[in-house]
Amino acid sequence: MRRAIVFPILAATAIVLSACSEEPAAPQAPPPAVQTVTLSSEQVATVFEYVARTRAKEDAQIRARISGTIIERNFEEGQAVAEDDLLFRIDPRPYQATLDSARATLSRTEAAMNVAERNLERGRQLVDDGYISQAEIDQLEGERDSARAAHEEARAALQQAEIDLGFTEVRAPFAGTAGRSELSIGDLVDPGAGALVTVVQLDPMLVDFDVTEQALADAFRENQEREARGEPPVQYTPQMKMPNGDLYPHEGVISYADNRVNPGTGTVTVTARFPNPQGILLPGQFVRIEIQRGQPKPGLLVPQPAVLEDMQGRYVFIVGDDGMVERRNVTLGQRDGTRLVVNEGLSEGDRVIVHGVQKVRQGMPVTASDIDAQP
């Protein structure tokens, strides 16, 4: 009887001990917290960026056309000069003497030519009466022709002397800025002595950059299609970023494209013209050109940190209305600051995960909080 009572007690004790030995279940981790940006339509302009280099529209090395001694220098280095301003004066006295001599020679040859013509005229009157022979007339005609040739030669020498005398004044061929010059009053110069000074026209400034032949062909085709539809052509507005990253305050104008393709690079050099009234731009600077194609249009922009990439291409994670993570494959366009233009894959109102993308995966729940779109 006692054994029958002991067995139920032992069984109950084993059950209690077994229950006490089981550990409590671990609490489930909360969904990870992420930050999202809600996409909304914005005005987006199509912009292309190119590395470019500035170039002066006019850049002249002023050289001496004659030999002589500098007697005047009428500018300072870095000074703005107007067109036809006198820069140097070369001693004109030798050239003035040559000019005076040429004038005298011209007068002498003119007198000799007049005498020869009068002699020929008298001879023609006498030949009919038989007082002189035809051979003498031929000789008179030859003297007349020689006198005329000497007169023309003297006239050409006079013109050359006038030109040489004019070259004693070295003037600015256009308005610009004078560069460095190591010549002083008293220095002897000649045509082989190198540049006396350089004059550079800084306003406007030209900027050269290379565009792929495919991009240029696409632009031409688009404008042809628009013209066929009776629409105005796309306007391309270039803007410049300075070497320090600042945006240049003036917009440019596309001047022209080169008439040939560089076979080594497959690009065409395009030149834009920028006003430079303050002289901020200098020739030879490396800058960046941003060209806006047409007017801004509505579009979506996604922050760059939200974009991931794998073998399937670029994608982002969005948070659905049920709080679950969803992958969206996207096609992206140009860069706009720290954001990328969305061509395909996203819609207005989508909540794109920007911060916390590394700790989420498809189909998992998350705790999302919206942040302002990054500029």
Write down the pLDDT at residue 139. 85
Residue 178 near residue 75, CB atoms below 8 Å:
yes
| pLDDT mean by block of 10 residues, the chain; 375 residues | 48 49 62 88 80 91 92 89 92 94 93 89 76 80 89 94 93 90 89 89 92 82 85 84 90 87 88 91 91 77 89 91 90 80 88 88 88 61
Pairing status of strand 313-319 against strand 267-274: unpaired
Residue 299 near residue 341, CB atoms below 8 Å:
yes
Q: Which CATH architecture group holds 48-56+203-296?
A: Beta Barrel (2.40)
Domain 65-91+168-193 coded CATH 2.40.50.100: yes
Q: Which CATH architecture group holds 33-44+298-370?
A: Beta Barrel (2.40)
Residue 175 near residue 82, CB atoms below 8 Å:
yes
* Measured distance CA(39)–CA(351) in Å, rounded: 7
Write down the pLDDT at residue 54. 93
The per-type count for the chain, helices as H runs and strands as E runs, is 4, 20
Return the CATH fold of 93-166. Answer: Helix Hairpins (1.10.287)
243, exposed or middle or buried, with CB in 10 Å at 0-12, 13-18, 19+? exposed
Write down the pLDDT at residue 26. 56
Report pLDDT digits (tens) over 291-328. Answer: 877 667 788 888 988 899 888 899 999 998 888 899 99
Q: What are the sequence ranges of the domains in the chain? A: 33-44+298-370, 48-56+203-296, 65-91+168-193, 93-166
Write down the pLDDT at residue 231. 84
Residue 374 near residue 338, CB atoms below 8 Å:
yes
In eight-state DSSP terms, residue 304 is G
Write down the pLDDT at residue 27. 65
pTM of the model: 0.61
